[in-house]
Amino acid sequence: MKLNTLILASLVAAAPLVAHADPLSGFDVAEDLSRFVYADAPIFDDGMPAYGNAFITQGYIYPAGTLDGGVEGTLANGDPAFPDLVIGEWTCDGYFVADGMRTATGAMVITRQVYRFNNGDLLISHGPELADPGVSVTRAVTGGTGDYAEAPSEIEQVMLGMSDGYGVRLQIELVDAAGAS
Protein backbone atom coordinates (compact mmCIF):
# COMPACT_ATOMS: atom_id res chain seq x y z
CA MET A 1 0.00 0.00 0.00
CA LYS A 2 2.79 2.40 0.89
CA LEU A 3 4.50 1.72 -2.45
CA ASN A 4 1.26 2.44 -4.35
CA THR A 5 0.82 5.71 -2.47
CA LEU A 6 4.40 6.75 -3.29
CA ILE A 7 3.94 5.87 -6.96
CA LEU A 8 0.66 7.82 -7.13
CA ALA A 9 2.22 10.82 -5.39
CA SER A 10 5.18 10.84 -7.76
CA LEU A 11 2.87 10.61 -10.81
CA VAL A 12 0.77 13.52 -9.59
CA ALA A 13 3.89 15.59 -8.88
CA ALA A 14 5.32 14.84 -12.33
CA ALA A 15 2.09 15.60 -14.22
CA PRO A 16 2.17 18.90 -16.10
CA LEU A 17 0.01 21.62 -14.63
CA VAL A 18 -2.59 23.13 -16.91
CA ALA A 19 -2.06 26.86 -16.98
CA HIS A 20 -5.09 29.06 -17.35
CA ALA A 21 -4.78 32.74 -18.02
CA ASP A 22 -7.45 35.17 -17.03
CA PRO A 23 -10.18 35.59 -19.65
CA LEU A 24 -9.72 38.47 -22.04
CA SER A 25 -11.58 41.59 -21.00
CA GLY A 26 -12.32 42.34 -24.64
CA PHE A 27 -11.67 41.34 -28.22
CA ASP A 28 -12.61 42.21 -31.80
CA VAL A 29 -14.58 40.15 -34.34
CA ALA A 30 -14.40 40.32 -38.14
CA GLU A 31 -17.06 38.51 -40.16
CA ASP A 32 -15.99 36.36 -43.11
CA LEU A 33 -18.71 37.05 -45.68
CA SER A 34 -17.83 33.92 -47.64
CA ARG A 35 -19.42 32.01 -44.72
CA PHE A 36 -22.61 34.14 -44.39
CA VAL A 37 -25.65 32.09 -45.44
CA TYR A 38 -29.29 33.07 -45.04
CA ALA A 39 -32.58 31.28 -45.73
CA ASP A 40 -34.40 31.37 -49.06
CA ALA A 41 -37.36 33.08 -47.43
CA PRO A 42 -38.56 35.52 -46.31
CA ILE A 43 -36.66 37.91 -48.54
CA PHE A 44 -37.28 41.30 -50.16
CA ASP A 45 -37.74 41.65 -53.93
CA ASP A 46 -34.02 42.39 -54.26
CA GLY A 47 -33.15 39.07 -52.53
CA MET A 48 -32.00 40.61 -49.24
CA PRO A 49 -33.18 39.00 -45.95
CA ALA A 50 -36.49 40.28 -44.56
CA TYR A 51 -38.03 40.01 -41.07
CA GLY A 52 -37.88 36.42 -39.77
CA ASN A 53 -35.10 35.23 -42.08
CA ALA A 54 -32.70 32.77 -40.41
CA PHE A 55 -28.95 32.92 -40.99
CA ILE A 56 -25.57 31.61 -39.90
CA THR A 57 -22.17 33.21 -40.34
CA GLN A 58 -18.61 32.90 -39.08
CA GLY A 59 -15.51 35.01 -38.73
CA TYR A 60 -12.30 35.64 -36.86
CA ILE A 61 -11.55 36.78 -33.32
CA TYR A 62 -8.69 39.25 -32.89
CA PRO A 63 -7.14 40.95 -29.85
CA ALA A 64 -8.99 44.07 -28.70
CA GLY A 65 -8.13 47.13 -30.76
CA THR A 66 -7.06 45.25 -33.91
CA LEU A 67 -9.98 46.67 -35.91
CA ASP A 68 -9.84 50.23 -34.54
CA GLY A 69 -9.98 53.04 -37.09
CA GLY A 70 -12.05 51.20 -39.71
CA VAL A 71 -9.55 48.40 -40.33
CA GLU A 72 -11.07 45.43 -42.17
CA GLY A 73 -10.38 42.06 -40.53
CA THR A 74 -10.96 39.88 -43.59
CA LEU A 75 -9.70 39.88 -47.13
CA ALA A 76 -12.05 39.75 -50.15
CA ASN A 77 -11.49 35.97 -50.44
CA GLY A 78 -12.55 35.41 -46.80
CA ASP A 79 -9.07 34.86 -45.36
CA PRO A 80 -8.13 36.76 -42.19
CA ALA A 81 -6.42 40.07 -42.90
CA PHE A 82 -4.05 39.41 -39.98
CA PRO A 83 -3.57 35.62 -39.78
CA ASP A 84 -0.86 35.89 -37.12
CA LEU A 85 -3.24 37.82 -34.84
CA VAL A 86 -6.26 35.46 -35.04
CA ILE A 87 -7.05 34.18 -31.54
CA GLY A 88 -10.21 32.25 -32.35
CA GLU A 89 -13.29 31.67 -34.48
CA TRP A 90 -16.66 33.39 -34.13
CA THR A 91 -19.91 31.68 -35.09
CA CYS A 92 -23.20 33.57 -35.11
CA ASP A 93 -26.71 32.35 -35.88
CA GLY A 94 -30.03 34.05 -35.52
CA TYR A 95 -32.95 35.81 -37.14
CA PHE A 96 -33.49 39.14 -38.81
CA VAL A 97 -35.98 41.39 -37.00
CA ALA A 98 -37.38 44.91 -37.58
CA ASP A 99 -37.05 45.62 -41.32
CA GLY A 100 -34.56 42.80 -41.95
CA MET A 101 -31.41 43.81 -43.82
CA ARG A 102 -33.03 47.22 -44.51
CA THR A 103 -33.11 48.12 -40.80
CA ALA A 104 -31.48 51.54 -40.46
CA THR A 105 -31.43 51.87 -36.67
CA GLY A 106 -32.02 49.70 -33.61
CA ALA A 107 -32.05 45.92 -33.40
CA MET A 108 -31.47 44.32 -36.81
CA VAL A 109 -30.99 40.73 -35.66
CA ILE A 110 -31.39 38.60 -32.55
CA THR A 111 -28.48 36.15 -32.32
CA ARG A 112 -26.49 33.55 -30.47
CA GLN A 113 -22.75 34.08 -30.75
CA VAL A 114 -20.14 31.43 -29.94
CA TYR A 115 -16.59 32.67 -29.47
CA ARG A 116 -14.26 29.66 -29.76
CA PHE A 117 -10.72 30.58 -28.77
CA ASN A 118 -7.64 28.82 -30.12
CA ASN A 119 -6.84 27.43 -26.66
CA GLY A 120 -10.21 25.59 -26.63
CA ASP A 121 -12.09 28.00 -24.35
CA LEU A 122 -15.63 29.03 -25.29
CA LEU A 123 -17.80 32.03 -24.53
CA ILE A 124 -21.46 32.16 -25.60
CA SER A 125 -23.77 35.20 -25.71
CA HIS A 126 -27.36 35.86 -26.76
CA GLY A 127 -29.15 39.07 -27.58
CA PRO A 128 -29.80 41.84 -30.06
CA GLU A 129 -27.34 43.31 -32.52
CA LEU A 130 -27.81 46.88 -33.63
CA ALA A 131 -27.69 48.39 -37.10
CA ASP A 132 -26.11 51.52 -35.58
CA PRO A 133 -22.32 51.77 -35.80
CA GLY A 134 -20.64 53.00 -32.64
CA VAL A 135 -23.61 52.29 -30.36
CA SER A 136 -23.17 49.83 -27.49
CA VAL A 137 -25.70 47.06 -26.85
CA THR A 138 -25.79 44.72 -23.85
CA ARG A 139 -25.90 40.97 -24.52
CA ALA A 140 -26.36 38.14 -22.03
CA VAL A 141 -23.50 35.72 -21.45
CA THR A 142 -25.20 32.32 -21.42
CA GLY A 143 -22.21 30.04 -21.05
CA GLY A 144 -18.51 29.55 -21.09
CA THR A 145 -15.76 26.99 -20.60
CA GLY A 146 -12.15 27.15 -19.49
CA ASP A 147 -11.14 30.71 -18.67
CA TYR A 148 -14.73 31.80 -19.43
CA ALA A 149 -16.48 29.32 -17.11
CA GLU A 150 -16.90 32.12 -14.56
CA ALA A 151 -17.38 34.94 -17.09
CA PRO A 152 -19.51 37.95 -16.14
CA SER A 153 -23.20 37.72 -17.01
CA GLU A 154 -23.05 40.49 -19.64
CA ILE A 155 -21.00 41.71 -22.54
CA GLU A 156 -21.13 45.05 -24.31
CA GLN A 157 -20.99 44.87 -28.10
CA VAL A 158 -20.30 47.76 -30.46
CA MET A 159 -20.56 47.42 -34.21
CA LEU A 160 -17.57 49.25 -35.63
CA GLY A 161 -19.09 49.16 -39.10
CA MET A 162 -19.83 46.89 -42.01
CA SER A 163 -17.68 46.00 -44.97
CA ASP A 164 -18.88 46.77 -48.50
CA GLY A 165 -20.53 43.34 -48.59
CA TYR A 166 -22.29 43.87 -45.22
CA GLY A 167 -19.77 41.95 -43.08
CA VAL A 168 -19.76 43.22 -39.51
CA ARG A 169 -16.78 44.33 -37.47
CA LEU A 170 -17.46 44.16 -33.74
CA GLN A 171 -15.80 45.09 -30.46
CA ILE A 172 -16.74 42.94 -27.48
CA GLU A 173 -16.11 43.85 -23.82
CA LEU A 174 -16.90 41.64 -20.85
CA VAL A 175 -18.73 43.53 -18.13
CA ASP A 176 -18.08 42.64 -14.47
CA ALA A 177 -20.78 42.43 -11.81
CA ALA A 178 -20.32 46.12 -10.93
CA GLY A 179 -21.00 47.08 -14.56
CA ALA A 180 -17.40 47.99 -15.43
CA SER A 181 -15.66 46.59 -18.48
pLDDT confidence of residue 150: 93
Q: How many domains does the chain have?
A: 1
On whether residue 6 sits in a domain, the answer given is no
Residue 74 inside a domain? The answer is yes
User: CA torsion sign, 37 to 29 to 97 to 126?
Assistant: positive
Quick one: pLDDT at residue 137? 98
Q: What's the confidence (pLDDT) of residue 166?
A: 60
CA 38 vs CA 43, 53, 129: distances in Å: 9, 7, 16
pTM of the model as a whole:
0.85
Low-confidence ranges of the chain (pLDDT < 50): 3-19
Q: Does any domain span residue 126?
A: yes
Whether residue 2 lies inside any domain: the answer is: no
Confirm whether 16 is domain-assigned.
no
Within-domain flag for 11: no
Q: Give domain status of residue 7, yes or no.
A: no
Which residue range(s) make up the domain with 123?
A: 22-175
In a domain, 13, yes or no: no
pLDDT of residue 2: 53
Q: Report the CATH number that the domain containing residue 94 is assigned in CATH.
A: 2.40.480.10
pLDDT in tens, 128-145: 999 999 999 999 999 999
